[in-house]
Chains A and B, each alone.
Chain A
Amino acid sequence: MNHQPATTQFATQDDGIAKGDVLLKVDNVSLAFGGVKAITNISFDVRKGEIRAIIGPNGAGKTSMLNVINGFYTPQEGTITFRGNERRAMKPHHAVRQGIARTFQNVALFKGMTTLENIMAGRSVHMTRNIGWQMLWRGPALAEEIEHREKVEEIIDFLEIEHIRRTPVGKLPYGLQKRVELGRALAMEPSLLLLDEPMAGMNLEEKEDMSRFIIDVNQQRGTTIALIEHDMGVVMDLSDRVVVLDYGKKIADGTPDAVKSDQAVIDAYLGVAH
């Protein structure tokens, strides 16, 4: 068996930004749905190569923030600067092309498709052969399919989901579905990966696995990660910096230790140990 460890196979995304520089910058973003203000005047940045956590109580605007970043919502005010390009409005599929991928709070897989197809679908952005070649399934179309299949198999190896390759994802247990969804996001080869509660509803073992995958993705691929999570143990262990939202406003921003001892954060979200 010429099986290589996954560590050597991952290519690091090269987006022209040195590690530690600002990859994504959110400037004074405000988002309202009619009279409801979801996000008020928030600014923060995500540096290349870090794991950035966004935390806060329910309804604080965390998911809205992710939706603004990947173009699903257009904020009324403020700008997003990603890899040096400033913008406000953007179609989600353009954001993907620029290198932003995400997973969802509620698993949003393509239920009728197998694990393999789901992850292959994540590579759609990188595939270019036109319908003429596709019809023939020969030459360039087949070569492209195989080339991307190899990349997808790397991800399948990495996430240890070989055995469910051909299983329709609708039949999989929740923890594995979350893993497939991470795989699909990885298949896009993002430079910024947005994870919306990757560990929601998981048991301890699944959480540990998922944490390990997130750290590996960050360290081996050099992928920058912004994640929303409610498990404070996980957040404090994984993340390099944390931003805390409450009622659509930013109340703290800093290292996990600094945030943990911030009185505003304790009052709004963490509470005190009894």
Chain B
Amino acid sequence: MLYRVAGQFKTSYKADYALFPVRQDAWLLTFILLLAFVVFPMTANEFTFRALLIPVLIYSLAALGLNILTGYAGQLSLGTGAFMGVGAYACYKLVTIFPEMNIVVAIALSGFFSATVGMAFGLPSLRIKGFYLAIATLAAQFFLVWLFQKWAWLYNYNASGAIQVPNISMFGVPVAGPNAKAITQYYFVLGIVCVVTFFAINITRGRIGRIWKAVRDMDIAAELVGINLMKAKLLAFFVSSYIVGVAGALFVFLWRGAAEAELFDIQLSFRVLFIAIIGGLGSILGNFLGAILIVALPVLLGVVPRMFGLPISSAMVEHLNIMIIGALIITFLILEPHGLARYWQIIREKLIIWPFPH
């Protein structure tokens, strides 16, 4: 009843192209942003930030990057973890070589490194498709992780072989490294995620998004409406890897604080892929929903039983987590292969006509 589109007329195409043509959507977003920017920071403690809010945002961003490639442009990739690694290592080298560089600039630049690497590993997409392409990106995954281990210059010849985030301040406020406060880091990540998401929405609904979707849906027809397949695919790899790289830099600098090469192995790629698939391929919202499910559920499983006084061992939590996530993935994929985002779409459609069935 609250969700009605009746009476909201568009008199120009400009109005039709507003970010949220339906007024209620804009209210909902305002509400969510209010939660994210005001309510959560005021109520959350250190643990909530570190275990829940920050990782959800970072994983959403990584899934968004992958979703652009897989969900919009239709190019399957299993190299996400490694591309995140490229972003993280690039950012590490940038801040250690140029210590006075602003961290935002360093993160933005490190995205270009992963974008370039992603584009190079995207070259096989010009000849091969689907699962075969996934195997080709798998090569990137293994090669890059091997490179992170063997190329000592990347981790500044550390004895441990890991990268350690130094203390970095922006405008006098520590944002990364051991001195940084969780709330600062949360705002930092939230800011970047909001900006990148805004850009991603715009790209995917404009000309470039249509080109990508055309390539995804039928590449031969796309070529015959005048789309240059090579450009479109490589651009998708570029943009996708850029966002994934930024997510990787945030992953290490604003969340983990330290990383070794194994952090970026195939497990991470799969995790991000699960988020994108469960959230919904070809949707922006889905990445956030998927990340909330995959990242937040294990945490809640550990916390909620204890809140009710149920004694539960951490091993038990781990096992429960694996079982429940596994069951959820299977259930969701059977019930709704288009992911959580499709549920939201269905709910919207039903709400608009509620209480009538048609």
Q: Which residues of A are interface residues toward B (Cβ below 8 A)?
A: 70, 72, 91-93, 96-97, 101-102, 104, 108-113, 117, 120-122, 124-125, 127, 129, 131, 134-137, 141-142, 144-146, 149-150, 153, 184-185, 188
Contacts and interface: CB of A to CB of B under 8 A. Distances in A.
A150 B14 CA distance: 11
A135 B225 CA distance: 23
B218 A109 contact: yes
A121 B218 contact: no
Contacts of B233: none
Given A93-B227, A135-B199, A188-B225, A117 B216 contact: no
Nearest to B207: A127
A124 to B, nearest CB: 6
B29 to A, nearest CB: 16
A96 B207 contact: no
Given A92-B224, A121-B225, A122-B225, A113 B214 contact: yes
Range for the number of chain B residues in contact with chain A: 20 to 34
A128 to B, nearest CB: 9
A93 B202 CA distance: 25
B111 to A, nearest CB: 13
The 8 closest A-B pairs by CB, nearest first: A96-B226, A125-B226, A110-B217, A108-B221, A137-B202, A135-B199, A134-B206, A121-B210
Given A113-B213, A131-B235, A145 B224 contact: no
Given A121-B211, A129-B207, A150-B13, A135 B223 contact: no
B203 interface: yes
Contacts of B214: 110, 113, 121, 124
Contact of B226 (A93, A136, A141, A142): A93
A129 B209 CA distance: 13
A139 B248 CA distance: 32
A81 to B, nearest CB: 20
A108 B14 contact: no
B202 A111 contact: no
Nearest to A104: B221
A161 to B, nearest CB: 17
Say whether chain B's binding surface is mostly helix, strand, loop, or mixed: helix
Say whether chain A's binding surface is mostly helix, strand, loop, or mixed: helix
20 contacts: A93-B224, A93-B226, A93-B228, A101-B225, A108-B218, A109-B217, A110-B213, A112-B216, A113-B210, A117-B213, A120-B210, A121-B213, A121-B227, A124-B226, A125-B225, A131-B208, A136-B199, A136-B202, A137-B19, A141-B206
Given A131-B208, A142-B17, A145-B207, 12 more contacts: A92-B223, A93-B227, A108-B220, A113-B214, A124-B226, A124-B227, A125-B226, A131-B203, A134-B207, A136-B199, A149-B13, A185-B225
Given A121-B211, A121-B214, A142 B223 contact: no
Contacts of B17: 137, 142, 145-146, 149
B177 interface: no
Contacts of B210: 113, 117, 120-121, 124
B263 interface: no
A110 B224 contact: no
Contacts of A131: 203, 208, 235, 239
A111 B235 CA distance: 22
